[in-house]
Amino acid sequence: MRTRFGMALFVGFLLAARAPVAQAQDVGELFRNINPSVVVVRATGREVTAARGVSTFKETGSGVLISADGKVMTAAHVVHSMDEVKVEFLGGEAVSARVIESEPAADLSLLQLERVPAGAKVAPLGDSDKARVGDQVAVVGAPYGLSYSLSVGWISARWPRNTVYRAMPLAEFFQTNATINTGNSGGPMFNMRGEVIGIVSHIISKSGGSEGLGFVVTMKTAKELLLETKSVWAGLEGTLLTGELAEVFNLPGGSGFMVKTVAKGSPAWTAGVLGGDRTATINGQDIVVRGDVILEVAGIAIKAADDMPKIREKLGAMKAGQPFKISVLRAGKVLELTGNLP
């Protein structure tokens, strides 16, 4: 009996000792399978600062190839108002890309590649509704520009829309303790079957680095906003002016959207919408000024944040090439511009 018991303990010890190695091999194999579908997104845009006025800057993020014809999902804050976007694949080959859909209220954008490099692999999209708190996940991206870095963690929580991060009211989020840093934004979160179940958005951090509070937009949200409906890309960023801010700028109608930057080649750019070139501090808030203030788009007046999704919904229902009107306040005068859907 002692001999058998001792042998059982010995076998059990061997199996326990080998288990972590097998798990590590599983994660390693997963990484090698998903790596060819992950991309590094490098974008160039313009920003306005008090010290330098209008100047160029570069943004690095991540993304994932989701179709054979060259569509890439990424985060809106990486590409939404940028003048130039390039996508870099495993091996270093870079391809030009353009934004075709974007929804800042969920931090999601869809890119169209100029071409798909040989060796690139389309990632399968998973069902994020089947993912549960406690499931192990993998994140691949370019934290601080360090391309194709893997981090592994667990889903810590699931947050419904308009709860944990009200600046993005349309996004359902996974919370994860997988390490996420600057440069991971837009990168994919995979389940252990190698399916994309989310797109990395942001972190909550007091130090500026990862503290185990990463937030990932669920694939359910991404599919709804980028694939099942049309999220029109306007290509501009700015500040909603209501209440006291609207009074400061003496806005007709009492509200509007002050344009900060306009991406070159975007629908707003081709319509002639102008961005700002100076900064001002008003009521303790830094605002880019001297740009157009958009008052109305396609017959919908901008009165509150809720009007922005309404405008995108109306534009999304229009046909490609169809014109629409944009009413702006410029240098004290109300002008009417004409845009065309791409």
CATH of 236-340, one of 3.40.50.150, 3.30.70.2190, 2.30.42.10, 3.40.30.10: 2.30.42.10
**Could you tell me which residue, 21 or 109, shows the higher pLDDT?**
109
What's this model's pTM, rounded to 2 decimal places?
A: 0.86
Residue 77 known to be catalytic: yes
Mean pLDDT value of segment 29-51: 91
* pLDDT(165) > 90: no
pLDDT band at 263 (very low <50, low <70, confident <90, very high): very high
Mean pLDDT value of segment 72-88: 96
> Which one, of 96, 36, 98, 41, lies nearest residue 68 by Cα?
36
Catalytic one of 37, 77, 109, 255: 77
The superfamily (CATH) of domain 37-113 is Trypsin-like serine proteases (2.40.10.10)
Assign a CATH topology to domain 128-222: Thrombin, subunit H (2.40.10)
Residue 202 known to be catalytic: no
SS3 call for 328? strand
Average the pLDDT over each of 42-56, 74-88, 93-107, 288-302 and give the range with the smallest value. 42-56
State CA 82 to chain mean position distance: 13
Q: Where are the domains of the chain?
A: 2-35, 37-113, 128-222, 236-340
Write the DSSP assignment of 137-206 as a string of letters: EEEEE-GGG--SEEEEEEEEEEE-TTTS-TTSTT--EEEE-S---TT-TT-EEE-TTS-EEEEEEEE--S
pLDDT at position 16: 40
Residue 55 known to be catalytic: no
Catalytic one of 185, 201, 255, 327: 185
Round to whole Å and give the CA distance between 301 and 166.
Answer: 22
What digits encode the pLDDT tens for the residues 279-335? 999 888 889 999 999 999 999 999 988 888 888 888 888 888 899 999 999 999 999
Average pLDDT, the chain: 88
Equal fold, 37-113 vs 128-222? yes
Residues in the chain: 342
Round to whole Å and give the CA distance between 233 and 225.
Answer: 12
* pLDDT(3) > 80: no
Round to whole Å and give the CA distance between 304 and 26.
Answer: 49
